[in-house]
Structure 1
Amino acid sequence: MSSILTNNGAMTALQTLKSINKNTADIQNQISTGKAISSAKDNAAVWAISKVMEADVTGFKAISDSLTLGESTVAVAKNASETVTDLLTQIKGKIVAAQEENVDRGKVQQDISALRDQIKTVVNSAQFNGLNMVKGTDDVNILSSLDRSADGTVTTSDITVARQDLTTGAGVWGGGNDISGRITIGGGATQAEAAGNSLALTLTHASLGGSNDITIGGTTISFAQGANATESTSNAMAAINALGLEGITASLTTDGSDGGLTIASTKSFEDVAVTSGAGIAGDGTIGMRAESVNLDTTTGVEAGDGYRISVGGTAFQYVAGSGETMEDVARGLKTAIDAGGLTGITTRVSQDTSTGQWSVKIDNSDPAAASLSVAGITGGQASGGLFGLDNINVTKDPEAALDNIETLIQNSIDAAASFGSVQNRIEIQNDFVGKLMDSMKSGIGAMVDADMEEASARLQALQVQQQLGVQSLSMANQAPQSLLSLFR
């Protein structure tokens, strides 16, 4: 049936043309925007995923900026630490030169003071954007990652950079818990005395042979047997004293007994073993003259832990910083005591290889005894990593200066190494973040970008379909005109 009111062919052609026009508009939008999915109506799920990933890319760009800033800050600190190490090495050279008696130690000290002032200048100026990593003890966190879990929760991660304090401050004694039990005076001794220690031997005349030996610190002394025990003992005493062993003297006992011989040692930091043959009783070891202040082997060191040694009523202290050990505490206490300028007092740091215990050995060569006491407390402000540098003085004690400069050099080397390691980590993370952003951008593009080759081919096909649709609609609109011929 034909009708002049309803043109079904035209309606069909029109709907087809509308569909073609819509598809053409979509393809043209893809070509103009470069995206197959440019809004939520194109594909809500894919569009939502892409937007989340685009937000993450923006976040990672900020993280990359943070890492770049952190890397620059750490690089400044590393360069400062390396410079300080070089300057301390120069100071060591001056101190070594001052060990020679025939030098002007006053002029050497002037050079050391100039280098010390330069170290302080380097430390104070080693800042980037106001942040100085070689002053203070608080750690610094550098934003390093954005972590998204499966449930959509987003968290951030940091790279923690430990400050390496290269200042010369003595720190502040705390007011926290008493930790005096972690520092003890060895053997219950309370004094460091100039007299030294001794060992008593008893010579039994009847058991002696014609020639007799006593070995002291690896050196063997032979003496002739006398007519009686008293004469044999006198011979032994004379032989020992005649040998001239440094710090070793022999004397007859004063208790009136025959055959009594006392061997005394004033060696500061060295035990002396004494052995003898038949007819001589009392072998053993003469302990070093220095008293030992021992540090705990079971408890770790926390930042702010303060340890104090008082020598002859004068207190010397060291307050630990973050990440330090009992070795650092021992060396810090030694540095503090050496800087005190006490007459006759010298120190050494040692470790018991069997127990791992660190100790500060304190020797007194002055005839007057010096009382010792110790204390410990938490909650202090840490001493600087170059604590003691201000008090290095080759005009007073060049030997102590040489010992202490080694500790300071090691501290600065450790600081530079720490900064170097974390700088390398930051560089690796920054490189990874850059590659991660590239991968995420590639993934987003794969989801939403238009395939331009396909779009071009589709556009040409749709243009042909559009032309045919227009022609089909034109033909459908002309069909009712054929009904006029029925009325002629």
Structure 2
Amino acid sequence: MSSILTNTSAMVALQTLNSINDNLVKTQSEISTGKSIESAKDNAAIWAISKTMESDVAGFNAISDSLALGESTITVARSATETVTNLLTEIKGKVVAAQEENVDRAKIQTDIKALTGQINSIVGAAQFNGLNLLKGTDDVNILSSLDRQSNGIVNASNITVERQDLSTAAGSYGTGTSLNANATASSGTVSATGNTATLTVASAGDVSGDTFNIDVGGTALAVTGLTGDQDAAATAISAAINALGLEGVSAGASGAVVTLTSTRAFEDTTLSATSAGTGITASATEVAERAEAVTFSASANVNEGDGYRVTLGSDVFTYVAGKNENFQDVANGLKTAIDAGGVTGVSTQVSIGDSGEAILKVDTTGADVSLAAVGAAGGEASGGLFGLDNIDVSTAQGADAALASVEILITNSIDAAAALGSSQGRIETQSSFIGKLTDSLKAGIGTMVDANMEEASTKLQALQVQQQLGVQSLSIANKAPQSILSLFR
């Protein structure tokens, strides 16, 4: 049936042409935008995923900037620390030169003060955008990543950089929990009097022809050719020991007893004796070092702000621990404080005991001085270069003390540079990873939403041909009702 009211062929041709035009518009949009999914209506699920990933890419771009800022800040601090280490090494050279008697210590001290001022200047200037990692103890967090969980929750991750305080600040002693139990003084007095042990020759009446083998501090001697009784033997043994010329060791005889006296400050003196027949007895296997000791706990922990004080007579010396320090650091800090105090005749040494405990030894060659040690929590930490300002080589005692102190300071500076270098390396690695991760995310987004341009080009040409055919088909369909006119002629 033919109808002039309903042209089914034209309707079909028009629908086909509309469909072709819609596909053509979509293909042209893909070519012009480069995307196959431009909006949520194109593919809601893929569009949502791509937008989430795009937001992550934007976040990682910001993280790259954060890492770059953090790396620059650490680079400044590390470079400053390495420079400080070099200057401390120069100071060490000056201190070593001051050990010589025939030098102008005053001029050397002037050079040391100039170098110290330069170190303080460098530490103060080692900032980037106002952040100085060489002052204070608070950690610095650098944004390093965004971690998206499967449930959509996003957490920020940080790289924690520990400040390396290289100031010369003395810190402040706290008023918190008592830490007295962690520091024990061996005696209430440091004395210049030497320690003693005895050798007793057995009563024999006649020691002629006997041989006495004596060992003092690892030096052996044989006393032979004796005549007389045990008292004569003791006198001969005493003379033989004195003839050895051992530093800090002397002997004296009274009757059959030889008294061995050692004024060695930081060294025990071993002692043994045998005889071929008469017999000789030592009261001890060693003469203890003269120095008194402050022994720190081998089991307790050291927290930031824990302060310890050593009192020598009327002088009080304080050190307040910083972050991640231990009792050896505390002992070294107190040694630095005491050495810089310039107490006449007083010298110090730090050692580690058999159980791993840190020991601060204090000796005097002058008047006896009282000794006490206390501790308290809640203080403000001393700087990593504490004691640098007080190095004084203008005297022989000061020069001797400064050598050990500058070694400690150099070690602290080297440790600080190493820690900062490690943090910088970690940030560089993370920055490289973030760059690669961002590229991977962009590639993934492109795979989902970018148009295949080769396919789109081919499709465009096909649709253009289909469009032309569709127009012709619609034109033919529109002419069909005109044929009905021939029925009425």
Are 2:151 and 1:151 equivalent residues in the alignment? Answer: yes
Q: 2:257 aligns with which of 256, 260, 274?
A: 260
Structure 1: runs of 5+ lacking an equivalent: none
For the residue of structure 2 that corresponds to 1:361, the secondary structure is: strand
**Is 1:227 the counterpart of 2:228 in the alignment?**
yes
Give the counterpart letter for 1:275 in structure 2. S
Hey, what's the Cα distance between the residues in 1 that align with 2:301 and 2:60? 39
> Alignment partner of 1:277: what SS?
strand
Give the whole-Å Cα distance in 2 for the aligned partners of 1:445 and 1:222. Answer: 94
Q: Aligned AA for 1:360?
A: L
- Give the Å deviation of 1:370: 0.9
CA deviation vs aligned residue, 1:318-344 (integer Å, no higher than 9, x gap): 111111122211111100110111111
- Residue 15, structure 1, aligned to residue 12, structure 2: no
Per-residue CA deviations over 1:363-394 (Å, capped at 9, x if unaligned) read 0111x211111111111111010001011111
Deviations, residues 430-477 of structure 1 (Å, cap 9, x unaligned): 111111111100100000001111111111111111111111111111
TM-score (norm 2): 0.96
Counterparts of 1:85-484 in structure 2, within 5 Å, are 85-186=85-186, 189-206=187-204, 210-224=210-224, 225-253=226-254, 258-278=255-275, 279-282=279-282, 283-352=284-353, 354-366=354-366, 368-396=367-395, 397-484=398-485
Cα distance in 2 between the residues matched to 1:169 and 1:226: 67
Please give the per-residue CA displacement for 1:257-316, whole angstroms capped at 9, x wherever unaligned.
x41221110001100000000311124110000011111111222111111111113111
Whether the aligned pair in 2 keeps the contact of 1:302 and 1:322 (CA below 8 Å) is: yes
Asked if the contact 1:226–1:235 (Cα under 8 Å) also holds between the matched residues in 2, the reply is no
Alpha-carbon distance between aligned partners in 1 of 2:28 and 2:241, rounded to the nearest angstrom: 111
Structure 1 contact 60–146 (Cα < 8 Å) conserved: yes
The residue aligned with 1:84 is: 84
**8 Å CA contact retained: 1:205, 1:232:** no
Supply the distance in 2 between the matched residues of 1:145 and 1:99 (Cα, whole angstroms).
54
Identify if the C-alpha distance between structure 1 residues 226 and 312 changes in structure 2 by more than 3 Å, giving closer, same or farther.
farther
Separation of aligned partners in 1, 2:462 and 2:4: 33
Aligned positions of 1:19-30 closer than 5 A? 19-30=19-30
Percent identity among equivalent residues? 57
**How many angstroms apart in 1 are the aligned matches of 2:194 and 2:154?**
68
* Contact 1:35 1:449 (C-alpha < 8 Å) held by counterparts: yes
Deviation at 1:395, TM superposition (A): 1.1
Q: Distance in 1 between matches of 2:243 and 2:42?
A: 107
Indicate conservation of the 8 Å contact 1:168/1:388, yes or no: yes
The 8 Å contact of residues 64 and 434 in structure 1, kept in 2 or not, is answered as: yes
Question: For residues 462 and 454 of structure 2, what CA distance do their matches in structure 1 show?
Answer: 13
Q: Distance in 2 between matches of 1:449 and 1:482?
A: 50
**What do residues 238-266 of structure 1 show as CA deviations (whole Å, max 9, x unaligned)?**
2222332211111235xxxx412211100
Q: Deviations over 1:95-139 (max 9, x none)?
A: 111111111010111111100000011011110000001111111
Query: For the residues of structure 1 that align with 2:468 and 2:176, how far apart are their CA atoms?
Result: 90
Deviation per CA, 1:14-42: give whole Å up to 9, x if none.
Answer: 11111111111111111111110000000
Q: 1:345, CA displacement in angstroms?
A: 0.4
Aligned equivalents of 1:463 and 1:176: distance in 2?
86
Question: 3-state SS of the aligned residue for 2:431?
Answer: helix
Pick which of 201-210 and 30-39 moved more.
201-210
- Give distance in 2, aligned partners of 1:333 and 1:409: 16
Q: Within 2, Cα distance between the matches of 1:450 and 1:332? A: 68
Please identify, of 174-183 and 34-43, the stretch whose mean Cα deviation from structure 2 is larger: 174-183
3-state DSSP of counterpart to 2:21: helix
Aligned AA for 1:443? G
Distance in 1 of aligned mates of 2:71 and 2:240: 70
Q: Count matched residues.
A: 480
Letter in 1 for 2:83: T
- The Cα of 1:221 is off from its aligned counterpart by 3.2
AA paired with 1:118? Q
* 8 Å CA contact retained: 1:194, 1:289: yes
Cα RMSD, aligned residues only: 1.2
1:165-216 CA-to-partner distances (Å, cap 9, x unmatched) read 1111111101211111111123xx2211100211022110329562212211
Supply the AA of the counterpart residue of 2:201: L
Q: CA deviation at 1:226?
A: 4.1
Q: Which amino acid aligns with 1:274?
A: L
Relative to the length of structure 1, the TM-score reads: 0.96
Amino acid in the other structure paired with 2:264: K
- Aligned-partner SS, 1:205: coil
Give structure 2 stretches of 5+ with no counterpart: none
**Of 230-239 and 454-463, the range deviating more from structure 2:** 230-239
